[in-house]
């Protein structure tokens, strides 16, 4: 691969990875908290959070595939290719599997039905756990790429990284 192409791919990788991590942090630390703090109805707050979470999960799936391709093109190793694909799959599982199941349970019905309350709590915990695992994986991916670049700068890697 020509050095110019590598010089373009490196910042694209960092921008994609930074945007993904930043979006997840912003959603978790600001959007979700603000929705439940400001909106008096938990149902409405949950609906708003779900509307934001959906596109975030799909964007995460796309970012994972993009980062996998970039990791492969930059020859960053097997982990830099497979980890983002795994994270992409987790985003899709959460989006198409867990999140719809959570959304089906109306918060109002959980107050009158303990079984529904337990189901909601279990599914919500699973969704949050998958979200946090994706964030941790994306941070681990940043470390993997940073180490690859550090090795390159130290002269131990491909001089075209």
Q: Is 74 exposed, middle or buried (0-12, 13-18, 19+ CB in 10 A)?
A: buried
Of 42-51, 125-134, 148-157, minimum mean pLDDT range: 148-157
Question: If pLDDT is split at 50, 70 and 90, which confidence band does 160 have?
Answer: very low
pTM over 0.85: yes
CA nearest 143: which of 76, 94, 89, 88? 76
| pLDDT in the model for residue 112 | 74
How high is the mean pLDDT of the chain?
92
The residue-averaged pLDDT of 45-67 equals 96
| pLDDT in the model for residue 107 | 63
| pLDDT in the model for residue 157 | 52
Cβ atoms of 107 and 46 closer than 8 Å:
yes
Eight-state DSSP code of residue 156: S
Q: What is the pLDDT of residues 113-124, one digit of tens each?
A: 888 889 989 999
The residue-averaged pLDDT of 21-27 equals 98
Cα–Cα–Cα angle for 111, 118, 34, rounded to 5 degrees: 70
Phi (first) and psi of residue 159, to 5 degrees: -65, -10
Eight-state DSSP code of residue 142: H
Token pair for 73: 């093109």
CA nearest 92: which of 119, 129, 130, 66? 130
Cβ atoms of 135 and 156 closer than 8 Å:
no
The residue-averaged pLDDT of 70-89 equals 97
With a cut of 80, say whether residue 1 has pLDDT above it.
no
The residue-averaged pLDDT of 50-71 equals 97
DSSP states along 76-118 = --HHHHHHHHHHHHHHHHIIIIIHHHHHHS-HHHHHH-HHHHH
Q: Report the percentage of the chain scoring pLDDT > 90.
A: 76
């Amino acid at each position: 691969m020509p050095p110019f192409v590598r010089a373009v791919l490196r910042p694209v990788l960092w921008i994609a990875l930074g945007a993904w991590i930043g979006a997840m942090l912003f959603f978790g630390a600001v959007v979700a908290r603000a929705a439940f703090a400001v909106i008096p109805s938990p149902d409405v707050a949950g609906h708003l959070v779900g509307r934001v979470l959906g596109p975030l999960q799909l964007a995460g799936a796309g970012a994972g595939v993009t980062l996998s391709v970039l990791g492969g093109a930059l020859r960053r190793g097997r982990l830099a290719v497979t980890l983002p694909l795994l994270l992409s799959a987790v985003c899709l599982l959460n989006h198409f599997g867990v999140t719809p199941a959570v959304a089906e349970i109306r918060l109002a019905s959980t107050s009158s039905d303990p079984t529904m309350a337990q189901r909601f709590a279990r599914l919500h915990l699973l969704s949050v756990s998958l979200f946090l695992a994706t964030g941790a994986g994306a941070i681990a991916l940043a470390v993997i790429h940073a180490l690859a670049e550090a090795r390159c700068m130290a002269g131990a890697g491909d001089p075209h990284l």
